[in-house]
A and B are shown apart, each in its own frame.
Chain A
Amino acid sequence: TQLLEQSPQFLSIQEGENLTVYCNSSSVFSSLQWYRQEPGEGPVLLVTVVTGGEVKKLKRLTFQFGDARKDSSLHITAAQPGDTGLYLCAATGGNYGGSQGNLIFGKGTKLSVKP
């Protein structure tokens, strides 16, 4: 059973469209991170959210942490081909019995933005 469920798994859209990807869990977490990964490279940190209900904006990207700190969403406005990549959510400090020392990752959403 995957602790962090990401949806959709794959998303292919045209340039200029908006999209939202989701990260859900039954566990409560202290913090949640979103990363973007390109093929053959390591994940790059986009944002960290720690407070229930928190919303953070990074240019055209809007991140939200659920009130109960169990879920998160990433919304991209007017997607561009440069947004193409694998979007991973990762969390730590949860009540799932894990430690504070490592991140639990979802499987990711593979986004393709066509020009």
Chain B
Amino acid sequence: DTGVSQNPRHKITKRGQNVTFRCDPISEHNRLYWYRQTLGQGPEFLTYFQNEAQLEKSRLLSDRFSAERPKGSFSTLEIQRTEQGDSAMYLCASSFRGTVSYEQYFGPGTRLTVT
């Protein structure tokens, strides 16, 4: 495994539609994180999992957003009833809690455009 992968890389959707993104972390990593990045800003934390347990959610994660990591491997992030303000780059990262646990490795991101 050479790194974190995310699919799709780009998604264009109409306002009100639902979208789902997938993240495959580095295989031995037990922590998985979702971030959102808008133009001119650094990434902002959304949520993270340790194995299959969702340990923390940001206030940014409204009730239209849901994330899952059912078997402690890949994760999905779903946005329901998309709004134009949801347009952003959605980044996934993974880390291994054990050594330098704060080192997170990012995927290439999914660019969402809501029209």
Which residues does A use to contact B, with CB under 8 Å? 4, 30-31, 33, 35, 40-45, 48, 50, 88, 90, 92-93, 99-108
Contacts and interface: CB of A to CB of B under 8 A. Distances in A.
Nearest to A29: B102
A33 B100 CA distance: 11
A48 B40 contact: no
B45 A102 contact: yes
A101 B42 contact: no
A107 to B, nearest CB: 5
A101 B108 contact: no
Contact of B109 (A4, A42, A102): A42
B55 A43 contact: no
Nearest to B101: A100
Contact of A45 (B50, B56, B103): B103
Contacts of A50: 100
B41 A107 contact: yes
Nearest to A6: B42
Q: Is the interface of A mostly helix, strand, loop or mixed?
A: loop
Contacts of A107: 40-42
B33 A102 contact: yes
A93 B102 contact: yes
Contact of B108 (A42, A103, A108): A42
A104 B45 contact: yes
Closest 10 CB pairs of A and B: A105-B42, A42-B106, A102-B45, A31-B102, A92-B102, A42-B109, A43-B106, A42-B108, A101-B48, A101-B56
Contact of B42 (A40, A90, A100): A90
B15 interface: no
B105 interface: yes
A35 B100 CA distance: 16
B67 interface: no
B109 A41 contact: yes
